[in-house]
Amino acid sequence: MILKPWVVETPEKVEIPGEVSLLPLSMLFDKLHGTESMGKTQLEESFIPDEIKEANNTISGLVDLRDMSDIITPIAAIMALGDGGEIVGAFHSRGKESNRIMSTIRMLSAFGIEARETLTGLAILGEQSPKCPKKPLDCEKDHRLAMTAAVLATKVGGELSGHEVCNVTHPDFFEMILSSDK
């Protein structure tokens, strides 16, 4: 590859959104607690991917995560609390920090939520409610699994093992979660 210098012209105002893949965690928290941490108007912002908007509404019952496999775990939890449906296009989630399809199923199951593996994702029953896990939940060295489990535990309690892996994505995550209890 040969790169030549060029003159960069930046606009007067540059907006860089935060880690948008963390938004489903906030949406899950809101669904569990009846809060509006993001405000309804912010979900209409153009920088929020359609996959996240669709998962929040799940009217079609189908969410394609081909381009956003990082959000499969919180999206599955949101869908389980809502109308349910199917996550498709997420076959590459198997190669994340954990096999995120199977680890999501295990984590949800620990909270009493049913989901099953499909060829490219998950099928999730709707209208489910989380229950406190009966034993400590292994976060499988997966930060997104740990963060989703922590959000579910804010509703029903639970003991997490390996949760410190969240520091990879959000070093202040547990401080933020614990401050929501005040």
What CATH code is carried by the domain that includes residue 103? 3.65.10.10
pLDDT at 74: 95
| Domain-located, residue 43 | no
pLDDT at 13: 62
Note down the domain range covering 162. Answer: 49-179
| Domain-located, residue 17 | no
164 secondary structure, DSSP code: G
| Domain-located, residue 120 | yes
Tens digit of each residue's pLDDT, the chain (182 residues): 676 766 656 666 655 456 778 888 988 988 898 887 655 545 555 456 666 666 666 545 888 888 888 899 999 999 999 999 999 988 887 777 888 999 999 999 999 999 999 999 999 999 999 999 999 999 999 999 999 999 999 999 999 999 889 888 888 888 877 776 65
| Domain-located, residue 22 | no
- Number of structural domains in the chain: 1
CA-to-CA separations, 73 to 28, 101, 153, in angstroms, rounded: 10, 8, 14
| Domain-located, residue 39 | no
Locus of tokens 């309690």: 157
DSSP, residue by residue, 141-162: T-HHHHHHHHHHHHHH---EES
| Domain-located, residue 44 | no
pTM value?
0.82
Burial 23-39 (b: 16+ CB within 10 A, else e): bbbbbbbbbbeeeeeee
| Domain-located, residue 11 | no
pLDDT at 141: 92
Q: How many CA atoms lie within 13 A of 171 on its CB side?
A: 0
pLDDT at 41: 47
| Domain-located, residue 1 | no
Burial of 101 (0-12, 13-18, 19+ CB in 10 A): buried
